[in-house]
Amino acid sequence: MVARAIDWKYALGLELTDPGFDASVLSKFRTRLVEHSLEEQVFTTMLTALAGKDLIGAGGKQRTDSTHVISAVRDLNRLELAGESVRACLEALSVAAPDWLATVIDVAEWAHRYGPRIDSWRLPASQTKKDRLAQVYGTDAVALLRAVFAAEAPIWLAEISAVRTLRVMLVQNYLITTDSRGREVIRRREADTDGLPPARTRINLRF
């Protein structure tokens, strides 16, 4: 990167024509760290800084494997996406058709659940509570969309951008099935067991 990226050269105060570091520099640097017992210096400094900001506590466990970190972030993103999609749809409908909205939902209850932005409060830590919250968001999304697309609802509600976004989120992240007793079950879609959503509506994120 130092050899070919201008921003790296700028950060290091190098000329644009600087050839960068020789491939052997990093390995020799590591050797010198070990020889002088400094291999944990950067790590210790980082831990001290994180502890000073109350980001880690004594005796806690922290994940450093990127696979686990990315997986945890993905789960939180999906949960926030579901909740925020419902909240945004509610806001749009409350402006566009407040009188109609009051006839299809319990305004006070939904306002309590979706008043603040989803990312403005700490999501639950336990997986059980996360799953429960995801189910609540999915159930609310289905109920809201069914009300919008009901025969007696104003037809133009379906054209609201937030409503279309909520539909896409639901298809992407949830499955509606029926259990052995004939009851409807709304649950999060898991790619490993449920497969991917329909290709025509699939959202592909690239990092």
* Residue range 20-63, pLDDT digits in tens: 877 777 778 878 888 888 878 888 888 888 888 887 777 666 55
Residue 99 to residues 22, 91, 117, Cα–Cα distance (Å): 70, 13, 23
Contacts of 59 (CB under 8 A, 6+ apart): none
Domain boundaries, the chain: 6-52, 66-201
Instruction: Specify the pTM.
Output: 0.60
Q: What is the mean pLDDT of the chain?
A: 82
Give the model's pLDDT for residue 151: 92
Distance of CA 4 to the CA centre of its chain: 33
Q: What is the pLDDT of residues 118-156, one digit of tens each?
A: 777 677 778 888 888 888 999 999 999 999 999 999 999
User: Hey, what are 36's tokens?
Assistant: 């002088």
**What are the backbone angles phi and psi of residue 9, rounded to the nearest 5°?**
-60, -40
User: Hey, what are 157's tokens?
Assistant: 């509600």
